[in-house]
Amino acid sequence: MIYYRMHLGYRVIKMPKIGLEVHVHLNSLKTKLFCSCPTDYVGKEPNTVVCPVCLGLPGAIPVLNEEALKKAIMVAIALNCEIAPYLIFSRKHYFYPDMAKNYQISQYDGPGSMAIAKAGYLNIGNKKVRIRRINIEEDPAKSVYPSGSMLTSKYTLLDYNRSGIGLLEIVTEPDIEQPKEAREFLNKLRSILEHLDVCNCEIEGSMRADVNISVEGGERVEVKNVGSIRDVEDAIKYEVARQKAAIAQGLKVTRETRHWDAERKVTVPIRLKESEEDYRYFPDPDLPPYQITEDYIRKVKESMPELPDARMKRIVEMYGITEYDAEVLVSDKALADLFERTAKLYNNYKKLVNVIINDYLRWINDKNLRISDSKATPEALAELMNMMDKGIISIKILKEVLPQIILEGKNPREIIEKEKLNVISDKDYLEKIIDEVLEEDKDAALAAKKDPKVINYLVGKVMKKTRGKADPYLTNQLLKEKLQNI
C-alpha cells in the first residue's frame, strides 16, 4: 500500500489487484491429452492433425495421456501445492465455435470435483505469489482471422490442429500489484516449466495468460489470451491506467472480458464476464476418477530434474560467479545449458559469463531472436574465448565475430583467418602507428605525461587506426616508453 499525507492525516491508496490464469501447453508430450494425435502441429496444414476425439465427433471416447498427469504433478510440486487424492475431469460448457463438442474437458474446484492441485506459492524476490489451483484441460481450436485481427476481420476460420492439446491452467490469487511483478512471476514460471521439460515456451502460443485486474472503486476486468510476457506487462499498464481514469471521471468500471490488441497496445471490450454457474460444470462420465497415491507422488518427485532455484545456487558455488549472473543464466534454461556446456571446455568462468550475458545475450535480444535460433555451439564459444586469452584476437574482434557464429554457426578460427582479424603484435609496426598518433595530437601527448589516464585516450586512437587489431597491452607499454622521451 502507498500512503500520502492530507490536511487531516494520511489516506491509504490501494494498489491494483492482479491475478493471472496462465495456460501452458504440454507440448513436450508426444500426443494430445485424450487421443493419439501428435502434438507437433505447428506449421502443418490446417485441420490435418485431427481425429474423431479432438474433433468432438459423436461416439468418440477420450482416453487420458498418463504422461500429462506426471507433468502436472511435477509442476504442482515445484509450485509448493497440495496435490489432490483423485484426478477428476469435468465438462465446462460454452457455445463458441473453437470447441466442436460445445464443452471443454477441464477441471472444477467445487462440489463433486476438484483441481489436480491447489494452495501453492511461488516466490519472486521477497514477495510470495499464492497459487490458487492448477487444472489439467484440453485446448480449443485456433481462431484465424484472414483479413486482419479479431476486431477487423470479416470472418473467422478455425484450425482444429491445436484442439485437444494438453494444457495446464495455473491460477494465482490476486497478489500481484505491479506490472513488473507479473513479468517476474511469468519469467520464473517459464524457467520452471522449461527445466521440468513440461513446455517449450518458445513455440508461439505455448504460454498464454488471462489477466484479471481491478482497481479500487471498480469491478474485476479480465483481459483474455495475452500471448507474451511483454504483452502481459503492457496490458496491465494500459488496463490499470484505463480503469483509474474512468473512475476519476465518475464512470463505472463494469465486470467484463476484454481483448488485448497487441498492435495498438490497447484493450477492447468483447463481452460481459461469465460466472462459474454459466459454464454448468459436471463430472465427465467418459473419464472416471483416477486415484493419485502418495507412492506415485513420491516416485514423480524423485524423477524430477534440478529446479531453477537449486540450479542457481549450484552454479554460484560451482563456478564462483555472482548471484545476479546466475539468476540471468537460469532465467532461460537454454542459456544456462549453453554456459554449463561451454564451461566444460573453458574454465575462466567469470570471463565466460561476462561474454555470454553482456555480448551474446544482448546481441540475441537486440535482434529479437530466441536462444534456440542461435547456431553458436559450446565448442565455437570456447575456441573464441581461448583465442582471446592467447592474444590472437582482442575483445573488440570477439564482439565482431560473435554475430557470425550465432547466425551462421561458422568456425571462429576460419572467420579470423579469412578476414585477417588477428591481433597486431608487431612492435615496429605499432611504434610507427603510435608515432603518427603522437604527432597528430601533441596536446594529448603532453597531457599524458602529467595524467596517466590520458594514455587510455591515446590507446583508443591507435586502436581506431588499426581497426581494433592492435594488441592493447603492448600498445600501452610502447606508448609509456614513447612518452618518457617526449
Please tell me whether residues 190 and 50 are part of one structural domain: yes
Q: In Å, what is the CA distance from 301 to each residue of 31, 69, 143, 244, 428?
A: 23, 13, 37, 45, 66
- CA–CA distance, 358 with 337 (Å, rounded to integer): 17
Please tell me whether residues 395 and 247 are part of one structural domain: no
Please tell me whether residues 206 and 276 are part of one structural domain: yes
Please tell me whether residues 68 and 179 are part of one structural domain: yes
Please tell me whether residues 272 and 399 are part of one structural domain: no
Q: What is the pLDDT, as a whole number, of residue 150?
A: 73
Q: What is the pLDDT, as a whole number, of residue 1?
A: 47
Reply yes or no on whether the pLDDT at 391 is more than 80: no
Q: Please indicate whether residue 336 or residue 473 has the higher confidence score (pLDDT).
A: 336
- CA–CA distance, 13 with 11 (Å, rounded to integer): 6
What value does the mean pLDDT take over residues 354-367? Answer: 92
Please tell me whether residues 83 and 201 are part of one structural domain: yes
Q: Please indicate whether residue 153 or residue 62 has the higher confidence score (pLDDT).
A: 62
Q: Where are the beta strands (DSSP E) in 173-248?
A: 207-214, 221-226
- Is the pTM of the predicted complex or chain greater than 0.75? yes
Query: Collapsing DSSP states into helix, strand and coil, what is residue 134?
Result: strand
Q: What is the pLDDT, as a whole number, of residue 140?
A: 92
Query: Collapsing DSSP states into helix, strand and coil, what is residue 79?
Result: coil
Task: Write out the residue range of the structural domain in which residue 378 sits.
Answer: 306-418
135: left (phi over 0), alpha (psi -120 to 50) or beta: beta
pLDDT band at 12, cuts 50/70/90?
A: low
Q: What is the pLDDT, as a whole number, of residue 154?
A: 85
Query: Collapsing DSSP states into helix, strand and coil, what is residue 379?
Result: helix
Reply yes or no on whether the pLDDT at 211 is more than 80: yes
Q: Please indicate whether residue 447 or residue 313 has the higher confidence score (pLDDT).
A: 313
Last residue of a domain, one of 393, 418, 443: 418
Please tell me whether residues 320 and 460 are part of one structural domain: no
What value does the mean pLDDT take over residues 225-237? Answer: 95
Please tell me whether residues 285 and 393 are part of one structural domain: no
For the chain, percent of residues with pLDDT exceeding 70? 94
Angle at 182 between CA 176 and CA 188, to 5 degrees: 115
pLDDT in tens, 90-147: 999 887 788 888 899 999 888 878 999 999 999 998 999 999 999 999 999 998 888 7
pLDDT in tens, 195-205: 999 998 888 88
Reply yes or no on whether the pLDDT at 319 is more than 80: yes
pLDDT band at 241, cuts 50/70/90?
A: very high
Bridge partner list, 64: none
pLDDT in tens, 75-101: 999 999 999 999 999 999 887 788 888
pLDDT band at 7, cuts 50/70/90?
A: very low
Reply yes or no on whether the pLDDT at 417 is more than 80: no
In whole numbers, what is the pLDDT of the chain averaged over residues? 88
- CA–CA distance, 65 with 16 (Å, rounded to integer): 39
pLDDT band at 372, cuts 50/70/90?
A: confident
- CA–CA distance, 58 with 163 (Å, rounded to integer): 16
Last residue of a domain, one of 281, 299, 317: 299
What value does the mean pLDDT take over residues 469-482? Answer: 74
Please tell me whether residues 201 and 65 are part of one structural domain: yes
Please tell me whether residues 398 and 435 are part of one structural domain: no
